[in-house]
Amino acid sequence: MEKVSASQRESMFPNEDVFKQILNLDHFQEEKQLITKTIEKFVSQQVNPNMDKLEAHDYTLAKQLFRETGKLGLLGADVPEDYGGLSMGKRMAGNIAEKMGFGGSFSVSYNIHTGVGTLPFVYFGTEGQKRTYLPKLVSGEWVGAYALTEPHAGSDALASKTTAKKKEGTKTWKLNGEKQWITNAHIADVYVVFANTIDGITAFIVERDTPGVSVSPEEKKLGIKGSSTATVIFEDVILSDEQILGDIGKGHKIALNILNLARLKLAFANIGTSKQALAIAVEYGKERKQFQQAVVEFGMIQEKIANMAVAIYGAESSASYTAGTLDVLDNHVDNVVSHLANYAMDCSVNKVQASETLDYVIDEAVQIHGGYGYMQEYEVERIYRDARINRIFEGTNEINRQTIAKSFLKNKKEHLLAIDTNAAHPFIRHAATIINIILNAFSKVSDQTKFEQMSLRSMADIIKEFYVMNATQLMAADSNQQLKQKLANLFCEEAYQRIENNAIMLLSSLTISDNDKGEQLDDIRALPVRYSNIFLVKQEIAQAIIANDGYME
């Protein structure tokens, strides 16, 4: 099969050529509808009614739910058929994660299992390891976990103090250390564990019942109480060469690449929960009456509903596009793993965008509930607490912003922002001009290694907004819904304003001459921007969302 060069991407941003390839691979529309109904039934009948039991750490129930998801075929969408999976790709796996996002903290356990708990075997396992572990993980017979974080190695994930020492002249290793905040710790049957060896970080497969493996009591958390989170301790755990995953000393490649995929899967789950929060807010707002009318009839509440829908559409468009690009890559490249690092920026964009969308949407959902949103008997209170972790795990959003900015600046090409002035949305054209102005200004900075983190943060937000803007327009063009076009256009208009504000801050902070700085800022202010009647558009969007009782698929 002909290979495509992921290291020489024609564009780091969503574009029509790749989108056409994505659509050509979209063969699972009927399956998607069936799977969606299956998940909705599973979550509504088996997960949410048992949330209190899950939050009380009923491990038997949690493992039973995994077996049920296995029976329903929900654990192996992106696992090859040879090992019990469905080979349906990242886009379908994302859709499943999104619908499972309605399942509260169980969706966290689910995502860890299907992501970092399973994918290391898919991409880095030997044939024997794949045949040993993947069928069990796909069926739900076994639950997987990923042991990377340590007490002194959080964002600096590779600063591991856990060690694995090989006994000279043998094929055995002795593992010692502890891993903190491990999701699925108490229900997992197998852990992927990262340890320091003489050759560097190495990944090991460690089964739960191995002598020397123990798990501390559950952590007491703000939210996601229904997922198991604890420290896993390794005391003189004896392992063999056969339990090494990937190459000795190359564990960092597994850690970083799998985290990229995990960030994308997490984004889909956050999108699902955002849609759930929006639906709950609309339902409550239609029932709650103040001043003799339903809350949703008030203009400021409709503005909130429209803003929530616009944010969701942006996150949804971006995640769907990125997952599609990985499916295209997987369809053309024999060894997709060697190219995943080139999509670190894309995955970080989605992690930040979706997690911050969820935080915004659930915050507004609580606000629409008023005082009742603060009460535990209302579901939005739990979702509010559960949502907060998403900006922290799978790499903090601060770390992901650094990844976005540094990846873009490292890999930028002049033609990346050559926009078709006739085809592109006006706000996309203007945003591209701003980014080119910034790149031109950057080229005049004498020592680019000294960019402050605040400058990189602004750059990351500009790139993130531009990425999502392009995705919304592609997705809207493929839809026959007028509402989707309104959502996409409104996202672009407001995203452009955020880009402009960040660009002004960023350019003002650069160590270039005042003349150069003034010229760059004048060029931005001179752009022929035309704004719409945003209030009218938001009213129309809100009324459509209210009539539909939530987000329109």
| Catalytic annotation, residues | 394
Determine if residue 289 is left, alpha or beta; phi over 0 gives left, psi from -120 to 50 gives alpha, anything else beta.
beta
Q: DSSP assignment of 437-461, as one string?
A: HHHHHHTT-S-GGG--HHHHHHHHH
> Which amino acid is it at 291?
F
Work out the widest C-alpha separation in the chain, in whole angstroms.
83
Token pair, residue 54, equals: 């899950």
For 240, the enclosing helix (H) or strand (E) is: strand 229-240
Q: Of 339, 311, 347, nearest to 498 (Cα)?
A: 311
CA dist 487 and 541 (Å) reads 7
> Which amino acid is it at 85?
G
Q: DSSP assignment of 250-285, as one string?
A: -HHHHHHHHHHHHHHHHHHHHHHHHHHHHHHHHHHH
Length of the chain: 553
CA dist 94 and 110 (Å) reads 12
Q: Rounded to the nearest 10 degrees, how much is the dihedral formed by the CA atoms of 157, 161, 167, 169?
A: 50
CA dist 218 and 184 (Å) reads 10
CA dist 61 and 74 (Å) reads 17
